[in-house]
Amino acid sequence: MEVSTRRLHFFSLITLLSFPHHLHASPEYSRPPPRPIIFTSHTRSESDPQQVHVSLVGVDHVRVSWITSHKHTKSTVEYGKSSGTYEASATGDHTSYHYFFYSSGEIHHVVIGPLEPSTTYYYRCGGSGPEFSFRTPPSDLPIDFVIVGDLGQTEWTASTLSHVGARDYDVFLLPGDLSYADTHQQLWDSFGRLVEPYASRRPWMVTEGNHEIETFPIVYPHGFRAYNARWRMPYEQSGSESNLYYSFNVAGAHILMLGSYTDFDADSDQYKWLEADLAKVNRTTTPWIFALLHAPWYNSNEAHQGEGESMRQAMEELLYKARVDAVFAGHVHAYERFTRVFDNTADPCGPVYITVGDGGNREGLALKFEKQKPPISVYREASFGHGRLRVYNQTHAHWSWHRNNDSDSFEADQVWLQNIYASTTSCMEATPQSQRDEL
């Protein structure tokens, strides 16, 4: 896609003139200054699709979402395995929304399938406009995930996405804070156009962050108006009643997309859903469980201290008893990896906790970590970048974090993960009998 851009008159509040000496960064690395916001313009006709992105729906279906300025474009997708040859078609629905004086275009959502795994499909939206293509993820391991939080739409965002696109992957996971529109709805449109070259080619699975809330007293008290309309996720398929939390299976992994900004206490719908969802996971066919949420439960950065604590106290034990392998968060604009943890203590049966809120947001980096590094914190650095998780087989996965280093992506941190069920007999013995019976 040809992208036309212009700079908006925004500037970051944080300057990167120096950084604390206690960060675990390479001493020779000097952080460049923040970069301005990019506004990506619409260059197609009113009936042509824009802001195209795809997401997973069940094991063999994909949702294609896009927006048109023209109100009468059909919500149809034609698709096939050869360019220009569309052997099948599907029809979906469309919606739109208003936010004060802003009126969105027509937002189309069409579910297509069943589809074959590891297969490239070519597709056209609404019967006109350019042809797109995406590849479905594999049905079995190995599988490759890219994980990026707090993406935004700055020149650093463009750098991050460029590094992401330089290497192949299967599914993109985003733990909240997408566009940083913050009630400026045109920035939702700009964000959709910016990510389209990536989100139209691989499934993007997202959950909400605080910048998606966009409430306004009396007029818009409930929030998530733009997010829910534009980024519809497969919550119904996992038994959830809200687009703000859901789960899905892909290859041999069960992915939990949790909501930091909806109720999560023991009496909440989300808590009851999570408890029931985890009870259904068969660790024989789905050996890995990963969770994503926005506000981190563990954090040694000075930014956003304690903001995930109430959710941790409410839900951590559920994840621990289910032997979740890793939890990924955003919100804090830096990178940090913890060891396996439960209740603030290193525990071989707990998840690895990783913060990746460093995708390129306009607010800049969270530069200050606590001077005394907690013993459970293994690596921390305030730099923009992205993470990659390759799940090789039922027993081993590899995590790596790649710092944006101008034109190159530099692997600054990496670790091998062993599946808790496969590697630790004591953790298996501590698991509730109902879950062990499935093995």
Classify domain 43-136 at the CATH topology level. Answer: Immunoglobulin-like (2.60.40)
Q: In the chain, which segments carry CATH 3.60.21.10?
A: 139-423
Q: Look at residue 431 in the predicted model and tell me its pLDDT.
A: 53
pLDDT digits (tens, 9 = 90+) for 39-85: 999 999 888 999 999 999 999 999 999 999 988 899 999 999 999 99
Q: With cut-offs at 50, 70 and 90, classify the pLDDT of residue 399.
A: very high
Widest Cα–Cα separation across the chain: 61
Count of all residues that appear for the chain in the document: 439
Q: In the chain, which segments carry CATH 2.60.40.380?
A: 43-136
% of the chain at pLDDT higher than 90: 83
DSSP string, 64-76: EEEEESSTT---E
Average pLDDT over residues 277-299: 97
* Burial of residue 404 (number of CB atoms within 10 Å: 0-12, 13-18, 19+): buried
DSSP string, 98-109: EETTEE--EEEE
Residue 33: pLDDT above 90?
Answer: no
**Prior bond of 197 cis (ω within 30°):** no
Cβ proximity of 9 and 362 under 8 Å = no
Out of 53, 108, 304, 333, the active site residue is: 304
Pairing of strands 377-381, 335-342: antiparallel
Q: What is the mean pLDDT of the chain?
A: 90
Q: Is 211 a catalytic residue?
A: no
Cβ proximity of 352 and 379 under 8 Å = no
Cβ proximity of 319 and 336 under 8 Å = no
Average pLDDT over residues 319-341: 97
Q: Look at residue 321 in the predicted model and tell me its pLDDT.
A: 96
Residue 14: pLDDT above 50?
Answer: no
Lowest mean pLDDT among 100-104, 164-168, 316-320, 402-406: 402-406
Residue 336: pLDDT above 50?
Answer: yes
Q: With cut-offs at 50, 70 and 90, classify the pLDDT of residue 34.
A: low
Closest CA to 365 of 10, 7, 9, 20: 20
Average pLDDT over residues 106-116: 98
- The superfamily (CATH) of domain 139-423 is Metallo-dependent phosphatases (3.60.21.10)
Q: Look at residue 407 in the predicted model and tell me its pLDDT.
A: 67
Residue 389: pLDDT above 80?
Answer: yes
Q: Look at residue 47 in the predicted model and tell me its pLDDT.
A: 87
Residue 382: pLDDT above 80?
Answer: yes
Q: Look at residue 422 in the predicted model and tell me its pLDDT.
A: 79
Specify the pTM. Answer: 0.91
Q: Look at residue 23 in the predicted model and tell me its pLDDT.
A: 37
